[in-house]
Amino acid sequence: MKLNLNRPLAFFDLETTGVNVGADRIVEIAILKAMPDGSELIKTLLINPEMPIPLASSLIHGIYDKDIANEPTFKAVAAELAEFIGDADLAGYNSNRFDIPVLLEEFLRAGVDFEMSDRKFVDVQNIFHQMEQRTLRAAYKFYCNKDIVNAHSAEADITATYHVLLAQIERYSDTEFEDKQGKISKPVKNDVDALHTFTNMNKPVDFAGRMVFNEQDQEIFNFGKHKGKTVEQVFDTEPSYYAWMKQGDFPLYTKKKLEEIWTRWNKKKEQLKQEKQQQQVVANKPKPNPNVKPNPSAAPPKKPKPAVEVTNDMLEQLKMKFGK
């Protein structure tokens, strides 16, 4: 079918250095401009973000620092992109919450006045989420073709959840799934270990998502100014961050896991300190001179004479000898 358009609709997607709207930068932008006559115009550009791309982000979109080293900055192409979009309305997937705010930040940094007041915004994800609701009631209806009786009572909800899982295992047992790295598998199995792996793809450390595991199974912060850094790395450079979190408004379990990492980090520090001290002792110990050879004819060292008890006769002899 053909979209009914009064003016162009520009579908666009961004790949970025991260998900912080205010701080992260664009590394790739693709725009499909649907025209009222049914034709389509496409423009795709790699962008030098003028900052390193974190490995965690590169593993998702496949763009590394070397790929954008010689590409133009956003400022260099901002006017070209604004002209290509023109007066088009904007569309995307999760674009209202992420892509549009990031794009506007970049235009503002570049000094380009990208007027938004007269544009319409179509977020395809919002259509999906609202039309295909992600509630337990909707899932029970979709997978089991039943309505929950006494919905929102704990027993009814948990019984429905149990039956939804059974239906999911049966429905997806032979269904392929492609993850963000392009790996294809059949993850929904009648196996708790497999289901655990599939339903914990973000690998949280504390379940609140403040800390997650990276690809090397190291704990990293998932929020704030240290987002993407390992927790131990932050302790090395800013140990006061631990105290700030312990005193802050964070879940108790987050604090518990943070304390475990802190204790482990301190043990490592103490162990390294002891190893360094031992190495210093060995380094300071006098070493035998290889140029000095032992003399086999040298007399053995004299043994000290045992102490002799002083008697009265000995004292009398001394008086006579010295006339005292």
For 49-97, write each residue's pLDDT tens digit: 999 999 999 998 999 999 999 999 999 999 999 999 999 999 999 898 8
Identify residue 110 by its one-letter amino acid code.
A
Does residue 23 surpass a pLDDT of 80? yes
Q: How confident is the model at residue 296 (pLDDT cuts 50, 70, 90)?
A: low
| H or E segment to which residue 29 belongs | strand 26-34
Spatial distance between the Cα atoms of 213 and 204, rounded to a whole number of angstroms: 6
3-state secondary structure of 10: strand
Does residue 322 surpass a pLDDT of 80? no
Instruction: Report DSSP state, residue 249.
Output: S
Per the prediction, the chain carries an average pLDDT of 87
Q: Which residues contact residue 130 at a Cβ distance below 8 angstroms, ignoring those fewer than 6 apart?
A: none
Helices (H), 36-153: 55-61, 65-68, 74-85, 100-110, 124-131, 136-144
Does residue 116 surpass a pLDDT of 70? yes
Q: How confident is the model at residue 243 (pLDDT cuts 50, 70, 90)?
A: very high
Which is more confidently placed, 2 or 167?
Answer: 167
Q: How confident is the model at residue 305 (pLDDT cuts 50, 70, 90)?
A: low
Spatial distance between the Cα atoms of 17 and 217, rounded to a whole number of angstroms: 21
Candidate from 129-143, 172-186, 297-311 with smallest mean pLDDT: 297-311
Q: Which residues contact residue 273 at a Cβ distance below 8 angstroms, ignoring those fewer than 6 apart?
A: none
Which is more confidently placed, 179 or 177?
Answer: 177
Q: How confident is the model at residue 26 (pLDDT cuts 50, 70, 90)?
A: very high
Candidate from 66-80, 139-153, 244-258, 279-293 with smallest mean pLDDT: 279-293
Query: Which residue ranges form the domains of the chain, and what is each CATH number?
Result: 9-129 (3.30.420.10), 136-199 (no CATH), 202-281 (no CATH)
Does residue 318 surpass a pLDDT of 60? yes
Identify residue 167 by its one-letter amino acid code.
A
- With CA atoms as reference, report the closest residue to 255 among 210, 214, 220: 210
Please say whether the beta carbons of 245 and 255 come within 8 A: yes
Please say whether the beta carbons of 100 and 90 come within 8 A: yes
CA dihedral of residues 260, 266, 269, 270 (deg, nearest 10): -120
